[in-house]
């Protein structure tokens, strides 16, 4: 791709012309305004449904996201694979660096993205993969606040008027199930399911969740009576007949619309973070579930469950793109979480016991 730059790709996609079909939509999170321009009526309808709780009145946007369909570039993009995180296998992302910009390819779906200070464009089979468009929009929020010094935690979170509780753990460790159980406590609100932005400011720890709905596994659904109806009866019966270990490891994601399940007014992406649970429990443990206060700076093993790479879309305030070999700044996480009480959850995986602990903390 020698000689091809960001503007060449933007000109080839002609987003300003291509997006006249649909009226723009405005989303606001943490005071940050994103204008979404989409060429597909059906995809736009899905985005409106998904982001309904953060749709705002038209305003001067901080970022415009163009969502186009299948468009061919008049040149070849030479992509290189992006290394997966430890424990993950298979090809997922590929990148091609440009001057002050980058294109990213989702290998499995063929959706492509142009990311630069001036452009945020999704193109390719976007209509068939709306979840990747949702993620791209949310990435712009993550990028904005990380450039301002916030750190992105791999965590779910809920809040009350007095408390903000984040929950991290190994993948599949139960953070989404725990978070949804805690939503049964009166006065709680959903903050986020998987990404939580945190900073330290004026003696407090403000936190911000992104408008990403919980993506839950079947095991979460069949063990929570409130979630009955998300699956059809036949599939739910099949899942209930599975062995517990098979059900625990089954990867089959479903979007959960908080307002539909818990009622209106149960989402607030802004919170004051006071406590952090790190799930370090096991289904094979003989010990009872226990919560212990810990000093995060003395437990790098627990910190590893919290930190999250900014990923291939991230370009810092100085213009440098994140690389798959870039080291994570663990000291920034320790500084951001310095005023938060961290708890290690050990012993047997027991959601009832953790619900009781959450009731004492939040209720």
Confidence of residue 131 (pLDDT cuts 50, 70, 90): very high
Total structural domains within the chain: 2
pTM of the model: 0.92
Same domain, 55 and 124: yes
- Structural domain span for residue 29: 6-147
Q: Do 200 and 212 share a structural domain?
A: yes
Inter-residue contact 104 to 78 (CB < 8 Å) = no
Between CA 195 and CA 209 the distance in angstroms is 6
SS3 content of the chain, % helix, strand, coil (to 5): 30, 25, 45
Within a domain: 224: no
Q: Looking at the domain assignment, is residue 1 inside a domain?
A: no
Q: What is the dihedral of CA 123, 93, 197, 156, to 10 degrees?
A: 100
Do 331 and 186 belong to one domain? yes
In degrees and rounded to multiples of 5, residue 66 shows phi and psi of -95, 130
Query: 88: how many CB neighbours lie within 10 A of its CB?
Result: 9
Q: Torsion angle of alpha carbons 135, 204, 185, 348, nearest 10°? A: 80
Flag the least confident range among 15-24, 243-252, 258-267, 339-348. 15-24
Coil/strand/helix, residue 38: strand
Residue 210 and residue 184 in one domain? yes
At residue 133, the pLDDT reads: 98
What are the angstrom distances between the C-alpha of 237 and each of 39, 231, 233, 246, 324? 40, 10, 6, 14, 42
CB atoms within 10 A of CB 185: 15
For the cut 90, the answer to whether the pLDDT of residue 242 exceeds it is no
Listed residues 99, 128, 147: the one ending a domain: 147
Lowest-confidence segment of 14-18, 162-166, 203-207, 331-335 by average pLDDT = 14-18
Q: Range with the lowest mean pLDDT among 59-63, 229-233, 298-302?
A: 229-233
Q: Where are the beta strands (DSSP E) in 195-242?
A: 196-198, 206-209, 215-216
The last residue of one of the domains, among 131, 147, 163, is 147
Of the three residues 147, 175, 202, the one that is the final residue of a domain is 147
Give Cα separations from 247 to 2, 21, 96, 152, 240 (angstroms). Answer: 49, 44, 38, 30, 8
Sort residue 174 into left (φ over 0), alpha (ψ -120 to 50) or beta: left
User: Region 47-63: what's the mean pLDDT?
Assistant: 97
The pLDDT-based confidence of 281 (bands split at 50, 70, 90) is very high
Give the domain CATH number at 328: 3.40.50.300
């Amino acid at each position: 791709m020698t000689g091809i730059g960001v503007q060449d790709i933007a000109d080839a996609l002609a987003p300003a012309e291509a997006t006249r079909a649909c009226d723009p939509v405005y989303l606001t999170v943490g005071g940050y305004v994103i204008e979404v321009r989409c060429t597909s009526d059906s995809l736009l309808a899905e985005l409106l449904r998904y982001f309904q709780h953060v749709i705002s009145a038209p305003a001067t946007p901080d970022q415009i996201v163009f969502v186009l369909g299948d468009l061919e570039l008049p040149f070849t993009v030479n992509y290189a694979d992006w290394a997966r995180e430890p424990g993950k296998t298979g090809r997922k992302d590929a990148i091609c660096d440009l001057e002050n910009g980058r294109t990213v390819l989702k290998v499995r779906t063929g959706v492509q993205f142009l990311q630069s200070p001036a452009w945020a464009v999704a193109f390719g089979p976007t209509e068939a993969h709306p979840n990747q468009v949702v993620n791209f929009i949310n990435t712009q929020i993550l990028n904005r606040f990380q450039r301002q010094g916030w750190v992105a935690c791999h965590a779910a979170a809920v809040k009350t008027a007095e408390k903000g509780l984040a929950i991290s753990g190994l993948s599949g460790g139960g953070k989404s199930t725990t978070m949804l159980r805690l939503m049964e406590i009166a006065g709680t609100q959903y903050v986020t399911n998987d990404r939580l932005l945190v900073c330290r400011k004026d003696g407090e720890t403000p936190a911000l969740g992104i408008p990403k709905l919980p993506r839950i596994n079947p095991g979460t659904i069949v063990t929570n009576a409130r979630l009955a109806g998300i699956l059809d009866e036949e599939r739910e019966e099949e899942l209930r007949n599975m062995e517990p270990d098979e059900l625990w490891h089954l990867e089959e994601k479903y979007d959960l619309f908080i307002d539909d399940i818990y009622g209106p007014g149960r989402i607030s992406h802004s919170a004051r973070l006071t406590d952090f649970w790190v799930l370090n429990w096991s289904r094979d443990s003989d010990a009872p579930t226990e919560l212990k206060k810990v000093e995060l700076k003395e437990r790098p093993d627990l910190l590893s469950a919290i930190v999250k790479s900014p990923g291939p879309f991230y370009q810092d305030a100085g213009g440098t793109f994140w690389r798959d070999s870039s080291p994570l700044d663990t000291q920034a996480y320790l500084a951001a979480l310095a005023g938060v009480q961290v708890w290690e959850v050990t012993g047997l995986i027991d959601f009832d016991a953790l619900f009781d602990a959450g009731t004492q903390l939040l209720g």
